[in-house]
A and B are shown apart, each in its own frame.
Chain A
Amino acid sequence: MTTSRTASSTLTGSLARRAAVAFAVGVMVESSVRMNVLPFVILLAVAQGLTSLASP
């Protein structure tokens, strides 16, 4: 039971990570094609917000 729950949680984590990477790559390609850096900047703002969680 615990093993299957751990496996399910690992799979969900892995899928979430892949979805996040795919989204980030999509934003980067879109920004580069359109020559508009705002989506990049928004993505950086989100990454910065998450990075700050590691601040004591």
Chain B
Amino acid sequence: MIGTLVKGSRFERLLNAHLHIAGALIGAGIVGLALSSLGSFLPRLISLWLLTCLCIAYGAMELGYLSLPLPETGHQVPASWRYLLPSPVTALLYGLVLGPGIGTRIASASYGALLSLVLLYGPPLQGMLVLATCGLTRAVGTVITAHMSRRNPAEGMALGYSLIQVWRSLNALLVGLLAGCLLVEAVIMTR
């Protein structure tokens, strides 16, 4: 995937980067809007308690205490697109598929908590904003990593892997704090 972002002239690289980011933003936004719209039919109190349980469960999974299903396929994006399609189209399609984060492999269990929050907490536009933020960060991070490691793509992957423990700890902390806040809100609403 990184190969698509770093090949060609300067103009082509810039175009591919922008299209990849736009694709990720659009794909993540659409999935976020669809998930939030689905979840908005549940009563608020039920959503809050369900969400609290899911945040605790996925937080525990992040720390390695239990195993839960995640909406992932485990497959990578199709490499054949790089050879069959023009590179700007490929960059856009890779962005659309990778932006929502559910088409391939999920790197962190906390993503389950984030998707639950998108599904069950707040109005549809909020869900769209949250998932679009995630897709945008992912795409911008990918573009920066790809350009930083243009001569040696393995270097970029190594950088991502070297920081995984930092992100996992931050994710576990955030999901734990979120679960606490949601629990307080659910208890107040129940009383």
Interface residues of chain A, those whose CB is within 8 Å of chain B, are 24, 28, 31-32, 35, 37-38, 40-56
Asked whether B177 is an interface residue with its Cβ less than 8 Å from the other chain, the reply is: yes
Asked whether B45 is an interface residue with its Cβ less than 8 Å from the other chain, the reply is: no
Known: A28-B177, A44-B110, A54-B167. A49 touches B133 (CB 8 A): yes
Q: For residues 117 through 139 of chain B, which have their beta carbon under 8 Å from a beta carbon of chain A?
A: 117, 121-122, 126, 129-131, 133-138
Known: A44-B171, A44-B174. A51 touches B113 (CB 8 A): no
Complexed CA–CA distance, A43 and B114 (Å)? 10
Q: How far is the CB of B112 from chain A (nearest CB, A)?
A: 10
Q: How large is the interface on B (under 10, 10 to 19, 20 to 34, 35 or more residues)?
A: 35 or more
Interface residues of chain B, those whose CB is within 8 Å of chain A, are 76, 101, 104-108, 110-111, 113-114, 117, 121-122, 126, 129-131, 133-138, 141-142, 145, 157, 159-161, 163-164, 167-168, 170-171, 174-175, 177-178, 181-182, 184-185
Question: Is the beta-carbon distance between B177 and A40 smaller than 8 angstroms?
Answer: yes
Q: Which residues from A are CB-within-8-Å of B182?
A: 37
Q: Which residues from A are CB-within-8-Å of B131?
A: 45
Q: Which of A28, A35, A49, A56 contacts B141 (CB 8 A)?
A: A49
- By secondary structure, the A interface counts as helix
Question: Is the beta-carbon distance between B107 and A54 smaller than 8 angstroms?
Answer: yes
Complexed CA–CA distance, A49 and B181 (Å)? 22
Question: Is the beta-carbon distance between B130 and A51 smaller than 8 angstroms?
Answer: no
Question: Is the beta-carbon distance between B107 and A51 smaller than 8 angstroms?
Answer: yes
When A and B form their complex, which 8 residue pairs have the shortest distance between CB atoms, in order from nearest? Answer: A49-B137, A55-B107, A45-B134, A49-B138, A51-B167, A53-B160, A54-B164, A54-B160
Q: How far is the CB of B117 from chain A (nearest CB, A)?
A: 5
